[in-house]
Structure 1
Amino acid sequence: MSSSGIVTSASTVSTTNASKKGKWPPLRTTFMASIVALGSSFSFGFQLLITNPAQGSFIKFLNASKHSNDPDDARIAHLENQWSVIVAIFFLGSMTGAFFIKTVAERFGRKKGIMLAIVTQITSSLLAITSYWIVNHYLFAFARFTMGMGIAVAMGIAAMFVTESSPAHCRGIASLLNGVCLQSSLTIGAVLAMPKLLGTEDLWWTLYLFQLTINTVVLCILPVVHESPSYLASQEVKHHDIFKSKVTESVKFYHEIPYEDAERIAETLISTHQISRSQETIFSVWRSPFNRRGTLLGMMVTVAMAMSGITVINAFAFEILMDVGMDQDTAAFANAFICVFSLAGIMVSTWIIDHFGRRPLIITTFGFLTIVNVAIISLMWAYSETQNQIVSYLLISSICMFNFLFAMGPGPISMFITGELVPQTCRSASSVWTNAVMAAVRFLTLTSYLPVKNLTSEPVAYAIFFIIPMIVAVVVLYFLLPETKGRNVEEIREEYERKALLQ
């Protein structure tokens, strides 16, 4: 059977089952996607937020540690810049971890790879808790670095795992469960890390105990789910019947279809992946024009996502709210309220992602985010000039709208779009580059934003970092990003080759 015939056969089976079961993922696919999201994107969002409302307690811990390690230094210094570096170290770890995604995903598989990444997260949580009891900010910084590594590997593999295991007709919604967990964790982190709850000098270590508990539960549940059928189909065939049976059982588990239908899809996967079993490296992925294009587009989406303003809003929204006249408790509640809009945005996205498609959703939301960023800059400047409380409320409303739009489009789509743009043979290599670049951009933004703000002003710094990248992203994605909704990579490749022939 030809490659196109194989794709058509798989699409027919998938379409038939889609018509029977609708657009929502099967229960087992939903279960798997939810579990891996709890061990990856939930941890990511939680780590993004807990250092925000609890910043005062963490800085006091930093001061105590500095005095403990250098008793002659009794100064209570202004530590904003030093703290921003410790916050950013998480993304330095993420950037480092990104280069392990391919190795872990291919050597251990999707399921065991995520389990290994979660063990790294558990170890990091234990180190962070230990740093509290021995009052050592160096150990805390190291814990954030290793936490970033573990979460980067988990998120990179989780996106592949869900994409490869989900039926094509509901792949978008299944992938969005990562986004739902991430946005939920932002809200949970913002609430738990409030100075009135766990974000105190005495209790901030329990935030890491909370994450450790979640990760331990996920680690205990993961063994019951099956490995990705695409990953299984790409492995070396030793005993054909046993090999085919494993792939078929995995398809049956995730698609919830009769064994005969699962067997046909398994044969398709095996035929497709055995044609070219060799996996692309992080360097060879650049040789093929199609793979290079998909990887670059995935990188463009993740960079634009990181440079939309979300990096600063996640890390410093609490401080921004205090800068516009709020006291600590009010700013903490406002910060949690803002995060609720992220959750609302992702819930709306689950309803429209497989209806309107990825391309129009991400281009439209990036466009509106540009407009909202202009409004945020204008309101920051207006408050600095007038000190008017009404302006501060309008600023909060603008940040709420920003979070809603971000969670509806760029936030969740950036987590899985690369996997839909490239074939299975280079999915892990492309994931390395998209995750590494995203982490690098976030790290550089966090380490440079506060110094730039202190040299200029909040509105000037925000404008420098987050307006031009949005405009560039909208233009580039409008002309180059293909629609991936309900399509396999071969269909996208055929469209690309047709356009290349016409040029």
Structure 2
Amino acid sequence: MAEIKSELPPLNEKERSILLDLVHQNESVLFGNDCRAEAVKRKAAASWAKGRITGWLLISILAASLGSSFIYGYNIGVINVAGNTIQRWIAESQQFIPMNTSSDDPLGKTLSDKVFLDSLNENDKAKITFVWSLVGGIFPLGAMFGGLMSGAIADKFGRKGGMLLNNLLTFAAGLVLFCTKWSGSYYILWLGRFLIGINSGLNSSLAPMYLTEIAPVNYRGLLGSVSQLVGTIAILIANILGFEFLLGTETLWPYLLGFTIVPAIWQLATLPLCPESPKYLLISKGQHDHARN
């Protein structure tokens, strides 16, 4: 039997969508003998898979990754380089005094951060270690809660809506962290780290979900890795900013912690212009036409 060949004219986006819908709805009937229908399905699916990165897609990628994934990575790394400076503030806020200070400097004000901390008595060192351990440990605890909530928030508010809503938490946490030094209490530092942990847990789920769902099929793997890439870059930037010649000083470390607000401002300015996830619009909202467009 001679092979049946069918040459189809190029299909525009609307025609491809209509044909795919018709084929999926009637494939049990069409694919019995109709070779043309099979060719239509194959041609339309192949055309749909050949997506491209448009200007709006690029803006959406930057809005989601720099405004969400960056915050997550930044707050993983920000606490490390300036650690001695912040630990010294904790010690001074508790009125811990180093041993063997001179009469000219009884409070050890002229000592470097490391020497100051090393000169404390063992009980004071133990308390500083405990406080600092919680500064680091309370962040992933908050991130765990954020991660657990991310699915419900993504389904209720959407991927885009969830990220925008999460910026409220970014501003709250950033303000708390920025005001820590002037509060004179390490409990405020704990609170800020816990809040930014919740925020980061949400960001670590919402941003990759959004990027994967808006990506063309042939770029889905690439865009799915953008969040992790931006997160690791953010860790590097946080460590650079934490050096003593930048923001890791006695007077500037609150700005180092509060810098986390800057990416949120970027996202609030750009993400509202970007489309919502088609998957969310179709499955959660039932908006077939909006999802297609």
TM-score past 0.5 threshold: yes
User: Which residue is equivalent to 2:144?
Assistant: 95
Q: Distance in 2 between matches of 1:149 and 1:4?
A: 46
Residues 96 and 168 (structure 1), Cα distance of their counterparts in 2 relative to 1, 3 Å cut: same
Change (3 A) 1:13 1:181: farther
Find the aligned partners of 2:41 and 2:135 in 1 and give their Cα distance. Answer: 49
Q: Paired residue for 1:32?
A: 60
Residue identity opposite 1:245 in structure 2: D
Distance 1:128 1:19, change over 3 A: closer
Aligned match of 1:470: none
For 1:122, the aligned partner's letter is F
1:50–1:207 Cα contact (<8 Å) kept:
yes
CA contact (8 A) 1:117 1:153 kept: yes
- Written as runs of structure 1 = structure 2, the 5 A alignment for 1:300-449 is none
1:64, 1:135 within 8 Å by CA — same for their partners in 2?
A: no
Aligned equivalent of 2:190: 141
2:68–2:204 CA contact under 8 A, matched in 1: yes
CA change 1:104–1:132 in 2 (3 A) is same
State the match for 2:46 in structure 1: 15
Residue 83 of structure 2 aligns with which residue?
55
Structure 1 equivalent of residue 268 of structure 2: 219
Change (3 A) 1:47 1:20: closer
1:450-494 CA distance string (max 9 Å, x none): xxxxxxxxxxxxxxxxxxxxxxxxxxxxxxxxxxxxxxxxxxxxx
Distance between the aligned counterparts of 1:19 and 1:45, measured in 2? 32
SS at match of 1:67: coil
Q: RMSD in angstroms over aligned alpha carbons?
A: 2.6
1:31 positional shift: 2.0
Q: Is the 8 A contact 1:97 1:148 kept in 2?
A: yes
1:122 Cα deviation (Å)? 1.4
Question: 1:209 matched to which residue of 2?
Answer: 258
Counterpart selection for 2:278 from 214, 229, 250: 229
Question: Take 2:175 and 2:273, find their aligned partners in 1: how far apart are those partners?
Answer: 26
Kindly indicate whether the alpha-carbon contact (under 8 Å) linking 1:110 and 1:228 is maintained by their aligned counterparts in 2: yes
Q: 1:187 aligns with which of 236, 253, 256?
A: 236
In structure 2, the residue corresponding to 1:100 is in which secondary structure? Answer: helix
Tell whether 2:211 aligns with 1:162: yes
Q: How many residues align?
A: 235
TM-score (norm 1): 0.43
The amino acid across from 1:246 in the alignment is H
Letter in 2 for 1:26: T
Deviations 1:387-421 (A, max 9, x none): xxxxxxxxxxxxxxxxxxxxxxxxxxxxxxxxxxx
TM-score, normalised with respect to structure 2: 0.72
Structure 1 match to 2:132: 83
Larger Rg: 2
Instruction: Give, as a single letter, the amino acid of the residue that structure 1 aligns with 2:237.
Output: I
Partner of 1:280: none
- The one-letter code matched in structure 2 to 1:163 is T
Q: Match of 1:62, SS? A: helix
Please say if residues 128 and 208 of structure 1, whose CA atoms lie closer than 8 Å, have aligned partners that are also in contact: yes
Deviation at 1:29, TM superposition (A): 2.3
Percent of paired sites with the same residue: 24
Higher helix share: 1
Q: Is the 2:173–2:196 contact (alpha carbons within 8 Å) kept by the matching residues of 1?
A: yes
Q: Which residue of 2 aligns with 1:311?
A: none
CA distance in structure 2 between the aligned counterparts of 1:11 and 1:37, rounded to whole angstroms: 34
**Distance change in 2, residues 1:60/1:42 (3 Å):** same
Q: What secondary structure is seen at the aligned counterpart in 1 of 2:225?
A: helix
Q: Please list the CA deviations of residues 91-116 of structure 1 after superposition, one character each: whole Å capped at 9, or x if unmatched.
A: 01001112211221111111110111
Give, in angstroms, the shift of residue 81 of structure 1. Answer: 4.2
Equivalent residue of 2:81, what SS?
coil
Deviation at 1:19, TM superposition (A): 4.8
Greater RCO, 1 or 2 (C-alpha within 8 Å, sep 6+): 2
Contact 1:30 1:174 in 2 (8 A): no
Code of the residue aligned with 1:15 in structure 2: it is A
Instruction: State the partner residue of 2:292.
Output: 248
Give the aligned partner of residue 332 of structure 1.
none
Asked whether 1:66 is paired with 2:94, we answer: yes
DSSP 3-state at the match of 1:39: helix
